[in-house]
Structure 1
Amino acid sequence: MLISRQAKSLVPGLLLSGLVAAGALMLERIEVRLSGRAWLEALVLAILIGAVVRTCCGASRRAAPGIHFAAKTLLELAVALMGAAVSFKTLSSVGAPLVLAIVATVVLAIATSFLIGRAMGLPVKMATLVACGNAICGNSAIAAVAPVIAAEDEDVATAIAFTAVLGVAVVIALPILAHALGFAPAAGGALAGLTVYAVPQVLAAAAPLGRVAVQLGTLVKLVRVLMLGPVVTVLSIVMARENQRTDLARPGLSPAHLLPPFILGFLALAGLNSAGLLPSGLTARAHEVSLGLTILAMAALGLGVDLRDLRAAGPRVVFVVTASLAVLTLMAVAMVKIVNIV
């Protein structure tokens, strides 16, 4: 009976989040029909629509439990399912020097962006969200890192919103930058893979540079996305040490004490997929479900944000994200030249 009551209490919030998510998907399809591409993905639109609804209509106590459930539990499930689409074999197909360059770029970008954020007075969790989103894969990285560090809904929504805007700007500017630097198609593709946030955006940014640029850019980007697993794992351990004062050397300590269940699920599915034990149909379906749950969770995050409360944090976040992106671009250009991609 108690479970039934709890389940019923989730319905209003889940329905509201679902309506917002559906609206975001509809707008994304309209974008594609009108311009041929989605400049703002449904994941971002869901946050924006949810935030507008919350700002204009206020908070609903009846919807609060379902909104919280979607923003936390369903988001964690989505992150776990992401592992089914990850294959560690990708690392062996691009060559050791380029893999090392990708890893170095991600690590240095996270560290630099975090330091910039802290220097500008951003809270640790907000600086971490911006750093990981900038260095790895934008919205998806922010969504994956948020539950691990127990980030506030407002911080998640703010980081994703500003990262999304600059992500679109990068897609437009990158082909121009590649031509200005005199990069060959392969080098331009690698630059796109190292800097652009989302895989679809890499395709859009590399397309003007040619087929080779698209192929290499996509491959580099996929390897960069693989860094999400190790980064989230490290953050999980750091949070466990900080919040629970966990001693890694203590006897009898299991991985579950250090890593949340959804991270263990992510790593397990990634391992199974890398070993070829997951059917391609199941992998594709897991990816679809993960994307759908993420959009639903982003709608819930948006519904927890009053845009009037974001004005104070806005300018600092914009500066940090912009400066971090500029540093990432400089690092990427340097890495492309060091590896000597032609």
Structure 2
Amino acid sequence: MTQPRPPLVGYLPGLALSAALAAAAWALQEVEVRATGHAVVEALVLAILLGMIVRTFWKPGARWEPGISLTAKQVLEIAIVLLGASVNLPLLLRAGAPLVIAILAVVATGLVAGYGIGRALGLNPRLATLIACGNAICGNSAIAAVAPVIGADDEDVASSIAFTAVLGVVVVMGLPLLIPVLGFDAYRYGVLAGMTVYAVPQVIAATFPVSALSGEVGTLVKLVRVLLLGPVVVFFAVRNRRIGEQKLAPGAFVPWFITGFLVLAAARSLGAIPAEVALPVRELSRWMTVAAMAALGLGVDVRVLGRVGGRVIAAVTGSLIVLISLSAALIVLLGIG
């Protein structure tokens, strides 16, 4: 049975907490700018870190949870849609077919390699599959969608999700360090992040602090990966003969925020959304995204590292290394960017 939704006022505490942390992140960024002339750590990342710090010392209770969940999910999805109003779609799609080929290759290889690494480390087939799907496609959403069609139990789902929130923050902080090592420009880095980072919000946090172009490219590439969730769910449903038992909603194939993002991006590219409208919409999207990052940080408990097994940590980390290495190689070999 589904839990009844709280009244609108029930969302206010969590929304207010997320907004307060977002405001604090913006204030800290302003302090950085005034002290050094530029933002050493962007508000997007600061919001995640502030949320994690609060979560380490205090776990928000039931009163706060509805608003925090709303901010981390629905507010972020709306921010992604609004982002479409400011992107230059032809510029983002300039890589054409090679980029599509690379995304398909990374997802397919990520699924196979992730499963193989998990099994080699002694994980059961269901847990190895969940880790592979989470890393290769779209994080927790992929895990939640695939779990019922492969018969995974709650322990498998919890184990596959537990470490990835912490690892995601590490990737957000560490992936930009590869830019000088690989010699990538803003476009190529956006492609790399979009093809490798675990979840949509983490892609946003890992790219927009680098540049707007990196963020827009990374978001688009990641949303293409998300679109592959539908075919993957169907594959596992058929493979496990559960297709008749599952009611796959249209949203499992094309999440609404992807459609919204593409519609606004097309409208902006065709001139239907003028620059004087696009700029404030983009700023609103940024503020909403920072609030969503704070809410996500409130859900990250660094102490989870002590609770998940070493083999799960190794499997998730190994899969990520494969994705990053393959993506970087394909970007260079296919001349993307």
Q: Which of 156-165 and 274-283 deviates more?
A: 156-165
> Are 1:265 and 2:273 an aligned pair?
no
Question: Structure 1, residues 252-292: CA drift from partner, whole Å, max 9, x if none?
Answer: x9966853433332232223223221122222222222222
The alignment partner of 2:96 has SS state of helix
Amino acid at match of 2:329: L
In structure 2, the residue matched to 1:234 is: 228
The Cα of 1:198 is off from its aligned counterpart by: 1.9
Corresponding pairs, count:
290
The alignment partner of 1:227 has SS state of helix
Question: Structure 1, residues 171-221: CA drift from partner, whole Å, max 9, x if none?
Answer: 34234xx7xxxxxxxxx6775565366255269xxxxxxxxxxxxxx5x98
Q: Which of 118-127 and 57-66 deviates more?
A: 118-127
Conserved in 1, the CA contact under 8 Å of 2:191 and 2:221? no
Q: What runs of 5+ residues in structure 1 fail to find an aligned partner? A: 133-141, 179-187, 204-217, 248-252
Distance 2:163 2:73 in 1: 14
Q: Percent identity?
A: 31
Q: Which of 65-74 and 24-33 deviates more?
A: 24-33
Conserved in 2, the CA contact under 8 Å of 1:54 and 1:306? yes
Instruction: State how 1:1-342 maps to structure 2 within 5 Å.
Output: 6-34=7-35, 37-38=38-39, 40-90=41-91, 94=94, 98-121=95-118, 124=129, 126-131=131-136, 150=144, 154=162, 157-175=165-183, 192=189, 194-195=191-192, 198=207, 200-201=209-210, 225-236=219-230, 238-239=232-233, 245=243, 258-311=253-306, 312=308, 314-336=313-335
CA separation of 1:277/1:68 partners in 2, compared to 1, >3 Å: closer, same or farther?
Answer: same
RMSD between aligned alpha carbons? 4.0
CA separation of 1:199/1:75 partners in 2, compared to 1, >3 Å: closer, same or farther?
Answer: closer
Q: TM-score, normalised by structure 1?
A: 0.67
CA separation of 1:189/1:78 partners in 2, compared to 1, >3 Å: closer, same or farther?
Answer: closer
Amino acid at match of 1:233: L
Conserved in 2, the CA contact under 8 Å of 1:113 and 1:131? yes
The Cα of 1:235 is off from its aligned counterpart by: 2.4
Q: What runs of 5+ residues in structure 2 fail to find an aligned partner? A: 119-126, 146-157, 194-205
Distance 2:187 2:162 in 1: 33
Distance 1:91 1:168 in 2: 19
More helix by proportion, 1 or 2? 1
Amino acid at match of 2:8: A
Question: Structure 1, residues 100-132: CA drift from partner, whole Å, max 9, x if none?
Answer: 333333332333334333333366555445435
CA separation of 1:28/1:102 partners in 2, compared to 1, >3 Å: closer, same or farther?
Answer: farther
Q: TM-score, normalised by structure 2?
A: 0.68
The Cα of 1:238 is off from its aligned counterpart by: 4.9
Distance 1:297 1:304 in 2: 11
